[in-house]
Amino acid sequence: MNDPVLVLGGGPAGLSAAHALAAAGQNVLLVDKENVLGGAPILSGYAKLVPSGEWAKDAIGGMVDRVRADPRIEVLTGERVMRFDGNPGAFNVALGSGATRAVSAAILCTGFTHFDSVNKPEWGFGTYPDVVTTTQVEQMISSGRGVHCPSDGRKPARVAILLCVGSRDRQIGREWCSKICCTVSSNLAMEIREEIPECSVYIYYMDIRTFGLYEDKYYWESQEKHHVKYIKARIAEVTSNGDRLIVKGEDTLVKRPITIPFDLVVHAIGMDPNVDNMTISAVFDVQLEKHGYLAKASSYSAMCGTSRPGVFTAGAATGPETIDDSIAQGQAAAMAALASLRTGLPQAAE
């Protein structure tokens, strides 16, 4: 029997990889730096997920329970990997606690870091308490408290959601599209309208990327059924008149300046590379791609491989990803790791 496969990170990708390995009879060592498993959907308290509409605590919580109950999976939380030496089939892991473990392969499922909106100061986050992020609105909903203005707890009459905060923004070094935030924002807009039917919700966008089948279910339905308004605009700044927040910018369809008051402004934050990626790159001796995500060995023939044979990767560690794609990649990485162990042929960079 092989030594366990190390799965680093217990978010959707890591939970999926661990389960797939165990289901195939392979022992797993699952290590996460946080004290709870589940990754961003659990740690950040997401509400109802797109596209399934299931609560994150049920959907991802169910994946956590399945892994926790599996005797083939040893879970270490609140733990980090400090050193990783050896060769495919026979690696040694030194943990932060001082313990060492032998593992046969590794799958890096270390995910992403939410963009910190203080890096976009002209859009009011950190200055005005009623400028919040999509994760904060998710938490308002998932906690049962409901959508409200943090300054005084009132229900907002007017909400603006600003898209692409920390994505598609070359000025602050974020050139990527975070893929899911248009859809998440359309979904949140509908949830706000359902909870507070008298509330007007506006989405400020550069482009709408409700990709694939999401166009109909989120973009059109939010407008036709829930009367969410979309404004194609370039935002200049978010200020306050002492009473309400003021969103200033240019309507880029009619090329006119617009200044509109709101009670609550929501930043649709993007998915930055994990802040740990430099360390992960050094410890595991794997390359990063140019934006700072973990580099894939190849897009097709060795999709879950890294630059180091015997070390695989999956999910948002490699770039902005949805939950379903992260789960699929976790399973694919498990398969790649098993194949490399069974054939004795390490999957290498091409």
Residues that bind ligand SF4 (CB under 6 A): 163-164, 167-168, 177-179, 181-182, 207, 209, 268, 270
Helix ranges restricted to H, 143-270: 181-195, 214, 221-224
Ramachandran quadrant class, 214 (left: phi over 0; alpha: psi -120 to 50; beta: rest)? alpha
Whether the CB-CB separation of 128 and 242 falls below 8 Å is answered with no
- Quick one: 167 or 329, whose CB is closer to ligand SF4? 167
Torsion of Cα atoms, 307 then 313 then 319 then 322, to 10°:
160
Tell me the C-alpha distance between 35 and 239, whole Å. 38
Given ligand FAD, ligand SF4, none, residue 110, with its beta carbon under 5 to 8 Å by kind, binds: ligand FAD
| Least Å from the CB of residue 227 to ligand FAD | 22
CB atoms within 10 A of CB 213: 9
- Quick one: 168 or 226, whose CB is closer to ligand SF4? 168
Q: Which of 286, 284, 333, 277 is closest to 94 using CA atoms? A: 284
Given ligand SF4, ligand FAD, none, residue 177, with its beta carbon under 5 to 8 Å by kind, binds: ligand SF4
100 DSSP β-pair partners: 94
Given ligand FAD, ligand SF4, none, residue 10, with its beta carbon under 5 to 8 Å by kind, binds: ligand FAD
Residues 286-300 as b or e (16 or more Cβ within 10 Å = b): bebeeebbbbbbeee
Given ligand SF4, ligand FAD, none, residue 207, with its beta carbon under 5 to 8 Å by kind, binds: ligand SF4
Whether the CB-CB separation of 242 and 127 falls below 8 Å is answered with no
Residues lying near ligand FAD in the complex (CB under 6 A): 8-14, 31-34, 39-41, 46, 49-50, 80, 109-112, 114, 134-135, 180, 184, 269, 271, 274, 276, 280, 315-317, 321-324, 326
| Least Å from the CB of residue 125 to ligand FAD | 14
- Quick one: 123 or 260, whose CB is closer to ligand FAD? 123
| Least Å from the CB of residue 276 to ligand FAD | 4
CB atoms within 10 A of CB 119: 16
Given ligand SF4, ligand FAD, none, residue 168, with its beta carbon under 5 to 8 Å by kind, binds: ligand SF4
| Least Å from the CB of residue 270 to ligand FAD | 7
- Quick one: 270 or 273, whose CB is closer to ligand SF4? 270
- Quick one: 207 or 224, whose CB is closer to ligand SF4? 207
Q: Which of 190, 187, 192 is closest to 158 using CA atoms? A: 192
- Quick one: 188 or 238, whose CB is closer to ligand FAD? 188
| Least Å from the CB of residue 20 to ligand FAD | 13
- Quick one: 34 or 324, whose CB is closer to ligand SF4? 324
Q: Beta strands 245-251 and 200-205: pairing type? A: unpaired
Given ligand SF4, ligand FAD, none, residue 9, with its beta carbon under 5 to 8 Å by kind, binds: ligand FAD
* Cis peptide leading into residue 346 (ω within 30°): no
